[in-house]
Amino acid sequence: MVTPVIQVQDLSKSFGDNSVLRRVSMDVATGETVVIIGASGSGKTTFLRCLNRLEEPSAGNVRLDGNPVMNSGSEKQIADQRSQFGFVFQRFNLFPHFSALDNVAIGPEKVRGMSKSDARALAAAELKRVHMSDHAMKRPVQLSGGQQQRVAIARALAMKPRVMLFDEPTSALDPELVQEVLDVMKELANGGMTMVVVTHEMNFAREVADRVIYMEDGRIAEEGPPEILFREPKSPGAQRFLRHLTHE
Amino acid sequence: MTIDWGIILESIPLLGHGVVVTLQVSALASVLGLVLGVVLGLCSLSHSRPLRLIVAGYVDFIRGTPLLIQIFLVFFALPALGIRFDEFWAGVVALSLNSAAFVAEVVRGGVGSIERGQSEAATAIGMRHRQILVYILLPQAYRQMVPPLTNELISLVKNSSLLSVISVYELTRAGQAIISVHFVPFEIYTLLAVYYYVLIKVLSWLSGRLERRLPTW
Ligand SMILES: Nc1ncnc2c1ncn2[C@@H]1O[C@H](COP(=O)(O)OP(=O)(O)O)[C@@H](O)[C@H]1O
Ligand SMILES: [Mg+2]
C-alpha cells in the first residue's frame, strides 16, 4: 500500500478547557485535494495549524510521509519539517518590507541555504506559476488582495512542500478578486499537488475536491466526494450548514 | 545685576572645543549604545531563558541606579578589576552602557509590536526564531523606533554633562573652567544652557527628517 502523505490519528487540541479538536483522524493521499467546510469556530483553522505545528496538539499524532511530525528535536529539525507543509493564510501575511520576489526568495535563501541569486531565480519561477511575473519588484502594499494571496502561494511553493494547506484563502478578498486565486489553486491541484483547503467556495470544492470534510464542534461529522456530500448530506448539521451556505 | 558681556563674547569660541568633545562623546556612545542595545534587545526576545534573565537584570540595574554612580563605577571600580580607561573613554563606555539598556527596551517594544501574522508566516516557511527577529521583525520596527531612540539620544547628550565630574573636557567642564577663573557662573551657565538647547534642537530636527524618510508599509 502507498503511504499517505499525511496521516492524522486521534488529533485533539484544547485551549484551556475549551476542546477545539476532538480525536480527529484522517489520511490525505498523494495528489489528493481535500476541502474542509464547517461553521465558524468548528476548529478548521486549528486543525490546519496543528498539522504544521504552528499550534501544538494536545494529543494524537500527525505523520508526514510516514514520519511522525516532531515536537522535540533541534529547532532546525522542527523548522525543516514544518517547511514541508506550505501554509497559506487567510490574511496573506506577506512581508511588507520585501518585494514580491524577495517574499518568495527569503525562504529558499535562509531556510534552504541557497545563494541569493539561485533563490531569486527560483522565486521568479514560482511567481510565474501564479502569474505574478509582472509584479515581481512591487511591494505588497502596491498589490491587490488577490495578487498578494498569489504571491503568498508562491512563497509557500518555493519551499517545495509535500502538501499545501490553505486556510480560507479567499475569504478576506473582494469578490471580484476571488477567482484569480481559485484559478491558481485549481492549476496546482491539476498539476498533482496534494492540498488541504479550508474554503466555503462551493464551486471550487465541486470542481477540484476529491473529498469534502464537514467539521462540527472539532469533529469530522461527515465526509465524502463533493457531488454526494453536497447533494445529499446525511447529518442534520451538514444539511443546515449547506442550506445556509447556498442561501447566501 | 550686571551682565559681563565681554566674558560671554570671549567664552563663545572657548566653549567650541567643549562642544566638539560633547559631540564626540555623544556620537561614540550613541553608536556603541545602539549596537549593544540592539543586541541586548534581540537577546531579550530570544527563546533562551538565561539570556532573557541576564538582559532583564542588566536593564533593571541600569534603570535602578543613578547615571552618576554608573559613571563612577566605570571610572573608579573597573580599574580595580584591571580594566583601565582614560577619562574620555570611561565617559564613552559609561554612557554607552547606560544608553544600551534603554535602547534594548525600545527594540523589545518595537519588535514586540509587529503583528503576529508576520512571525507565523515566517515560521511556516521554516525560518528559525533568530532569523525571524533579524530579517522579518526588526526591519519592520525601524520607523517606529526612531522617536523613542531620538529621546534616548537627547537624554544621552544632556547626560554627557555629568562626565564633567570625571574631568572629561566636554561642554559643561569647559564652562566650569571659565567660571573658576573669572567667577561668572550666571553668564556661563546661561550660555551652556543655550548651547545644549541648540544642539538638542538640531538633533530633533534631524531625527524628524530621518523618520519621514524611512518607509511605511
Ligand atoms: N489561540 C487560541 N487561544 C484560545 N482559543 C482559540 C485559539 N485559537 C482558536 N481558539 C478557539 O478555538 C475554536 C475554533 O477556532 P478555529 O479553529 O479558528 O475555528 P474555525 O477556523 O473553524 O473558525 C474557537 O472557539 C476559538 O475561539
Ligand atoms: Mg478559521
Q: The pTM is what?
A: 0.90
Interacting residues of B116 by C-beta distance below 8 A, sequence separation 6+: none
**For the CA of A168, the nearest ligand:** 2
| A99 CB within 6 A, ligand 1 | no
Count of residues making up chain B: 217
* Cβ contact A56:A69 at 8 Å: no
Is residue B154 pLDDT above 90, yes or no?
yes
CA angle A5, A10, A15 (to 5 degrees): 110
Average pLDDT for A31-42: 97
- Give CA–CA dist A8/A21, Å, rounded: 12
Mean per-residue pLDDT of chain B:
93
The Cα B171–Cα B17 span in angstroms is: 8
Q: Do B127 and A159 touch (CB under 8 A)?
A: no
Q: What per-residue confidence (pLDDT) applies to A248?
A: 63
Q: Is A199 touching ligand 1 by the criterion CB < 6 Å? A: no
- Is the Cβ–Cβ distance between B97 and B62 less than 8 Å? yes
In this prediction, residue A71 has a pLDDT band, given cuts at 50, 70 and 90, of confident
A43 touches ligand 1 (CB under 6 Å): yes
Span A199-247, pLDDT tens digits: 999 999 999 999 999 999 999 999 999 999 999 999 999 999 999 887 7
For residue B36, what is its C-alpha cell? 549593544
Contact assignment for A54 to B124 by CB distance below 8 Å? yes
pLDDT at A113 > cutoff 70 = yes
Nearest bound ligand to the CA of residue A215: 1
Query: What pLDDT score was predicted for residue A30?
Result: 96
